[in-house]
């Protein structure tokens, strides 16, 4: 940060809260003290953030706990050399409250928000864990599909032109338009950098050196990722979470909570659905790297692929149901689809719409996979595989599927075609 930025920040009242300041601060917030219980001096505070951007504290009192998230004026993963607006906390709060209305029970409850400090206090999710950690451990989440499909269908449908009158939709777009710095991270880290020599890129070297070079020279892939980037830049279809990977989902066996919507803006729906599918596929390809003995995780891996299929199938079913029952938007005016013939034609169009959305989903899923293997921010599914050659094998398989999904998207007419290809590629041995 420059000296000017530091001064600007100080004059705005923002300061980074460390443990002692946070204790004093929270002691003055009734919505928080009520849930904690006991005297502030007795609260136990620990910083637990393992994400790329912010501080996250857990505060425990005598009767309960809260989670407190504070945005830093820079990217935590990189440091002060990469400034990032504090306003992301504003957009995260806006998105969280919006999602809480649209998908009740599927996001954490907000207890308190402070615009100046870029800080939000939320219900402490216990005994939930970050889903990605559970997947690395090989845990099956039987209720996940229903929850995530509901979250996706409801948040996307109800913020789209299928549900909203044009004026309300445009106001929604305007409310999130200022979150462009976070969008720019995605535009660079997902849609550009993995396909060029970027300073911050990394991959499992030397095994993936040739694959990374191939991807940097693959013009068919460059066209495909550029089309996806254009869609991300220009398609304000719905309010999307914007970073819906398995590190943004907390789970227990029977509960699912979507967290961290700081990348939220009006963008293409397929970006969110694709993020979920991509991260399940990466968990699938990484699984062999975490097995104690060959085949020990077979049931878990089968569950992962069924889950990939069901996420799309259930999402499409729920979204279609909402469209049939709750359409109140300006798209597809009722006056144009009257009578039996109109209803039948609209139903055909719904199928065509879902087919297009599926193609977007597959393309964005591929982009999400490639960025996690060749770009700046990696994920523990692969990173925790200690044997680097085995890790590279898992990553190479993921990249192989991702390239097919992005360049030959049309050859995946159904989600079953994606999981079939994943099954075949799981046994492919790359030549290193």
Residues in contact with ligand SR1 by CB under 6 A are 52-53, 75, 77, 185-186, 189, 243, 377
In the complex, minimum distance from the CB of residue 290 to ligand SR1, in angstroms, rounded to a whole number: 22
What does the block give as tokens for 162? Answer: 């299928």
108 binds Mg ion (CB under 5 A): no
Quick one: which of 364, 229, 251, 263 has its CA closest to 53?
263
Nearer to ligand SR1 (CB atom), residue 191 or residue 300: 191
Instruction: Find which of ligand SR1, Mg ion, none residue 359 binds, CB within 5 to 8 Å per kind.
Output: none
Q: What is the DSSP string of 83-149?
A: E--TTHHHHHHHHHHHHHHHSTTSSPPEEEEETTTTEEEEE---S-EEHHHHHHTT---TTHHHHHH
Instruction: Find which of ligand SR1, Mg ion, none residue 258 binds, CB within 5 to 8 Å per kind.
Output: none
Nearer to Mg ion (CB atom), residue 273 or residue 377: 377
Instruction: Find which of ligand SR1, Mg ion, none residue 189 binds, CB within 5 to 8 Å per kind.
Output: ligand SR1
Instruction: Find which of Mg ion, ligand SR1, none residue 267 binds, CB within 5 to 8 Å per kind.
Output: none
Nearer to ligand SR1 (CB atom), residue 76 or residue 112: 76
Nearer to Mg ion (CB atom), residue 51 or residue 172: 51
What does the block give as tokens for 294? Answer: 């060959």
Name the closest residue to Mg ion (Cβ). 260
360 binds Mg ion (CB under 5 A): no
Asked whether the beta carbons of 119 and 89 are under 8 A apart, the reply is yes
The burial of 166, by beta-carbon neighbours within 10 Å (0-12 exposed, 13-18 middle, 19 or more buried), is given as exposed
Nearer to Mg ion (CB atom), residue 131 or residue 346: 131
In the complex, minimum distance from the CB of residue 243 to ligand SR1, in angstroms, rounded to a whole number: 5
Specify the 3-state DSSP secondary structure of 185: helix
- Stretch of 141-149, 252-260, 270-278, 365-373 contacting Mg ion, by CB under 5 A: 252-260
Instruction: Find which of ligand SR1, Mg ion, none residue 395 binds, CB within 5 to 8 Å per kind.
Output: none
In the complex, minimum distance from the CB of residue 253 to ligand SR1, in angstroms, rounded to a whole number: 25
What does the block give as tokens for 150? Answer: 């509901």
Instruction: Find which of ligand SR1, Mg ion, none residue 377 binds, CB within 5 to 8 Å per kind.
Output: ligand SR1
Asked whether the beta carbons of 282 and 398 are under 8 A apart, the reply is yes
Spell out the residues 6+ positions from residue 243 whose beta carbon is closer than 8 angstroms to its own.
186, 260, 261, 262, 263, 275
Nearer to ligand SR1 (CB atom), residue 106 or residue 183: 183
Nearer to Mg ion (CB atom), residue 71 or residue 362: 71
Nearer to ligand SR1 (CB atom), residue 185 or residue 273: 185
* Calpha distance 189→201 (Å, rounded): 9
- Stretch of 9-17, 43-51, 168-176, 291-299 contacting Mg ion, by CB under 5 A: 43-51
Nearer to ligand SR1 (CB atom), residue 279 or residue 310: 279
**DSSP 8-state class, residue 179:** T
92 binds Mg ion (CB under 5 A): no
Interface map 262-281 toward Mg ion (x if CB under 5 A):
--------------------
Cα-Cα end-to-end distance for the chain? 42
260 binds Mg ion (CB under 5 A): yes
**Cα 375 to Cα 74, 189, 271, 371, distances in angstroms:** 19, 6, 18, 5
In the complex, minimum distance from the CB of residue 161 to ligand SR1, in angstroms, rounded to a whole number: 27
Among 51, 108, 194, 289, binds Mg ion (CB under 5 A): 51
* Calpha distance 322→329 (Å, rounded): 12
* Calpha distance 104→98 (Å, rounded): 10
Nearer to Mg ion (CB atom), residue 260 or residue 360: 260
In the complex, minimum distance from the CB of residue 107 to Mg ion, in angstroms, rounded to a whole number: 13
In the complex, minimum distance from the CB of residue 261 to Mg ion, in angstroms, rounded to a whole number: 8
The burial of 41, by beta-carbon neighbours within 10 Å (0-12 exposed, 13-18 middle, 19 or more buried), is given as exposed
Spell out the residues 6+ positions from residue 166 whose beta carbon is closer than 8 angstroms to its own.
329, 330
- Stretch of 14-22, 69-77, 183-191, 260-268 contacting Mg ion, by CB under 5 A: 260-268
Asked whether the beta carbons of 151 and 60 are under 8 A apart, the reply is no
**DSSP 8-state class, residue 293:** S
Asked whether the beta carbons of 271 and 261 are under 8 A apart, the reply is no
Number of residues that bind Mg ion (CB under 5 A): 2
In the complex, minimum distance from the CB of residue 5 to ligand SR1, in angstroms, rounded to a whole number: 18
* Calpha distance 353→320 (Å, rounded): 10
Nearer to Mg ion (CB atom), residue 95 or residue 421: 95
| Residues within the interface to Mg ion (CB under 5 A) | 51, 260
């Amino acid at each position: 940060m420059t000296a000017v930025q530091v001064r600007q920040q100080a004059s705005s009242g923002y300061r980074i809260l460390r443990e002692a300041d946070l204790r004093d601060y929270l002691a003055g917030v009734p919505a928080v003290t009520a849930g904690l219980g006991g005297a502030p001096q007795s609260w136990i505070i620990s910083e637990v953030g393992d994400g790329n951007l912010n501080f996250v504290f857990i505060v425990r009192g005598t009767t309960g706990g809260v989670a407190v998230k504070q945005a830093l004026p820079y990217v935590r993963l990189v440091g002060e050399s990469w400034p990032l607006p504090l306003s992301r906390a504003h957009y995260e709060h806006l998105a969280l409250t919006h999602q809480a209305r649209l998908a009740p029970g599927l996001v954490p409850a907000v207890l308190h928000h402070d615009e100046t400090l870029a800080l939000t206090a939320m219900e402490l999710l216990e005994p939930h864990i970050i889903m990605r950690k559970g997947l690395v451990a090989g845990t099956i989440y039987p209720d996940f599909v229903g929850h995530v499909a509901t979250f996706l269908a409801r948040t996307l449908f109800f913020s789209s032109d299928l549900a909203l009158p044009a004026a309300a939709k445009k106001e929604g777009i305007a409310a999130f338009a200022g979150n462009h710095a976070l969008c720019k991270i995605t535009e660079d880290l997902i849609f550009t950098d993995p396909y060029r020599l970027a300073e911050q890129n990394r991959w499992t070297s030397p095994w993936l050196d040739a694959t990374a070079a191939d991807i940097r020279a693959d013009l068919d892939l460059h066209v495909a990722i550029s089309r996806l980037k254009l869609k991300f830049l220009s398609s304000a279809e719905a309010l999307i979470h914007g970073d819906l990977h398995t590190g943004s989902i907390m789970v227990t066996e029977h509960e699912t909570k979507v967290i961290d919507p700081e990348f939220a803006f009006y963008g293409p729906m397929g970006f969110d659905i694709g993020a979920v599918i991509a991260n399940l596929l990466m968990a699938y390809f990484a699984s062999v790297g975490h097995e104690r003995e060959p085949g020990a995780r077979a049931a878990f891996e089968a569950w992962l692929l069924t889950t990939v299929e069901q996420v799309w199938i259930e999402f499409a079913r729920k979204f279609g149901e909402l469209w049939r029952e709750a359409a109140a938007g300006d798209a597809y005016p009722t006056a144009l689809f009257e009578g039996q013939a109109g209803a039948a034609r609209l139903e055909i169009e719904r199928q065509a719409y879902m087919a297009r959305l599926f193609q977007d989903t597959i393309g964005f899923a591929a982009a999400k996979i490639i960025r996690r293997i060749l770009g700046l921010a990696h994920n523990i599914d692969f990173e925790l595989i200690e044997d680097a050659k085995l890790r590279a094998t898992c990553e190479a398989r993921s990249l192989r599927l991702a390239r097919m999904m992005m360049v030959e998207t049309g050859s995946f007419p159904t989600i079953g075609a994606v999981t079939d290809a994943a099954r075949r590629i799981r046994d492919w041995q790359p030549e290193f």
